[in-house]
Amino acid sequence: MDRIPILKLGRALLVTIQVDMHDRLATALEEDLSAKIVSSGARGVVIDISGLDLVDSFMGRMLDNIAAVSRMLDAETVVVGMRPAVAITLVELGLELSGVKTALNVERGMALIQTRLIQTGLEDADVGEDGP
């Protein structure tokens, strides 16, 4: 079965969703990601959806779920790279992803996670670098 790769970047995990998601792939991602948060001790998850030309309520719920599970595992989720047409459609659909932080691109998403680490006093170095 296909899997979506999860990359570790310092204290964060980066997931790039490029394929048209079907249900099993979404469920597998949720499971893989939560396991990886625990095994890597990651403090943040950046999900790049710039490759997606739509987000429907199923995918929106998946993103919400991932953010909620990550939060319980002490990691912040940031969804980045949403296309303008997708954002317009999501709002009209009635799905505003209120449980999920968003940022314009991967760089800003990583910066958001770094800010959180600094604010909580857990990190004073760059998020992209491994800690001691």
Partner 1 sequence: MAGDVLPIKTSDDVVRVRQQTRVRALEAGLSLVDQTKIITAASELARNTLDYGGGGEVRIELLQNLSRRGVRLTFVDRGPGIPDINQALTDGWTSGGGLGLGLSGAKRLSNEFSIHSVVGEGTTVMIARWK
Report the residue number, 54 or 73, with the smaller CB distance to partner 1: 54
- Interface of this chain with partner 1, residues 39 to 68, rule: CB under 8 A: 53-58, 60-61
3-class SS string, 74-90 = CCEEEEECCCHHHHHHH
Contact between 35 and partner 1 per CB under 8 A: no
Contact between 71 and partner 1 per CB under 8 A: no
Contact between 118 and partner 1 per CB under 8 A: no
Gap between the Cα atoms of 22 and 27, Å rounded: 9
Q: How many Cα neighbours within 13 Å face the side chain of 125?
A: 7
State the residues that interact with partner 1 by CB under 8 A: 20, 22-24, 53-58, 60-61, 83-86, 88-89, 92-95
